Amino acid sequence: MMFSVLASPIRVSLPFVNMQGALDAIDSRSFFFSAYERQAMLCSNDQVCTRIDELIATNKIVRRTSEWDIAEDLNDGGIYQATIDGEFLKEDLSWLDEETKKQIAIKDGTGAKHYGAFAFNRKKKKMKKRFDRALEILYSSIGKITAGHGYHTKKEPMDKYLETSWFPLAWFHLSEAFVFFFFAHLVAIAIFVIEVFFQITLHILFSRLCNRKRRPVLPRIVIVSSDVDDRRPSTISTTNPFLSLMSSIQFKPKRRESYVP
């Protein structure tokens, strides 16, 4: 049961058919490895493992967090090392997706192999007895395997895991905050000045408009003298509101006659 499967975009001629050829293609900068954040790269011999460690040390493996990003990398020349069962592939070269037919799956014959499970018909008693004897030999190790850390826990899928990265704050982050607040204050001051200028302009315009509508009234008071027959009116101008009201009233005093006995 093979777990090492390579996936590459469709090409006219395949540039590689195994992990060794994929590493050579990456060295020529024609392709690149794409993997999930916590995905471990599989290798079958010391030479391949050493070259993979060099890629990891130089950050030449593009790390992704979703299956959609992996698919986009495959369309752009990326190589993804799948951990699916290679026995499900019909041939050494087959479509990774039969519907879209955009990526080619390559079964690596030199890759790491792992036997996961066995299945047979329970009616075959001889096979069952042989299998039971094999389990008896391995029974002493089963307790240690099942008691291992994380054996009974559910493994999180790699495409749904997002690791938060911590980094120390530097003077650059603090200076950026000061620059932001400085420009924010400048904008606030500019808006305040524009608002004050606008209010002053409105006040001046309204004042001029009100002054044009006002008509100056110069009231006149007619005073008739009682001692002079020639009644010549004299005019008095005033701006007093009370006198302005009384200006429309003419006072005509009555002549008083005195009788001497």
Domain boundary among 86, 107, 128: 107
Q: Is residue 119 part of a domain?
A: no
Give the residue, 40 or 197, on which the prediction is more confident: 197
What's residue 5's pLDDT?
A: 52
**pLDDT level of residue 48 (50, 70, 90 thresholds):** confident
Q: Domain limits at 196?
A: 171-214
In a shared domain, residues 77 and 64: yes
Residue 252 in this model has a pLDDT that exceeds 60:
no
Residue 113 in this model has a pLDDT that exceeds 90:
no
CA-CA distance, 32 to 28, in Å (whole number)?
10
In a shared domain, residues 182 and 94: no
In a shared domain, residues 175 and 102: no
Chain centre to alpha carbon of residue 5: 35
Q: Is residue 118 part of a domain?
A: no
In a shared domain, residues 39 and 73: yes
Query: With pLDDT > 90 as the criterion, what percentage of the chain qualifies?
Result: 7
Q: Is residue 128 part of a domain?
A: no
Which ranges constitute the DSSP H helices of 109-248? 125-146, 171-213, 241-246
Handedness of CA 86, 87, 93, 95 (dihedral sign): negative
In a shared domain, residues 178 and 236: no
In a shared domain, residues 65 and 79: yes
pLDDT, tens digit, for every residue of 13-27?
Answer: 677 788 888 888 888
- Looking at residue 87, the DSSP 8-state letter turns out to be G
For the whole model, what pTM was predicted?
A: 0.40
Give the residue, 135 or 241, on which the prediction is more confident: 135
Closest CA to 43 of 14, 22, 58: 22
Q: Is residue 235 part of a domain?
A: yes
In a shared domain, residues 39 and 15: yes
Please report how many Cα atoms fall inside a 13 Å half-sphere around the Cα of residue 30, on the Cβ side: 12
Instruction: Output the CA–CA distances (angstroms, integers) from residue 102 to 17, 105, 212, in the order listed.
Output: 17, 10, 83
CA-CA distance, 82 to 116, in Å (whole number)?
16
Residue 10 in this model has a pLDDT that exceeds 60:
no
Q: Is residue 236 part of a domain?
A: yes
Q: Is residue 114 part of a domain?
A: no
Residue 126 in this model has a pLDDT that exceeds 80:
yes
In a shared domain, residues 191 and 246: no
In a shared domain, residues 201 and 228: no
In a shared domain, residues 41 and 77: yes
Domain boundary among 63, 88, 107: 107
Residue 246 in this model has a pLDDT that exceeds 60:
no
What's residue 261's pLDDT?
A: 47
Total domains, the chain: 3
| H or E element that contains 67 | helix 67-75
Strands of the sheet with 61-64, listed across from one edge? 61-64, 32-36, 78-82, 5-9, 103-107, 93-95
pLDDT, tens digit, for every residue of 61-89?
Answer: 889 888 888 888 888 888 888 876 666 67
Give the residue, 7 or 258, on which the prediction is more confident: 7
Domain boundary among 107, 123, 140: 107
Helix axes 46-57, 19-27, angle to 10 degrees: 40
Q: To which residue do tokens 């001046």 refer?
A: 204
Q: Is residue 54 part of a domain?
A: yes
8 A C-beta contact, residue 68 and residue 58: no
In a shared domain, residues 18 and 81: yes
What's residue 194's pLDDT?
A: 94
**pLDDT level of residue 198 (50, 70, 90 thresholds):** very high
Q: Is residue 117 part of a domain?
A: no
In a shared domain, residues 176 and 247: no
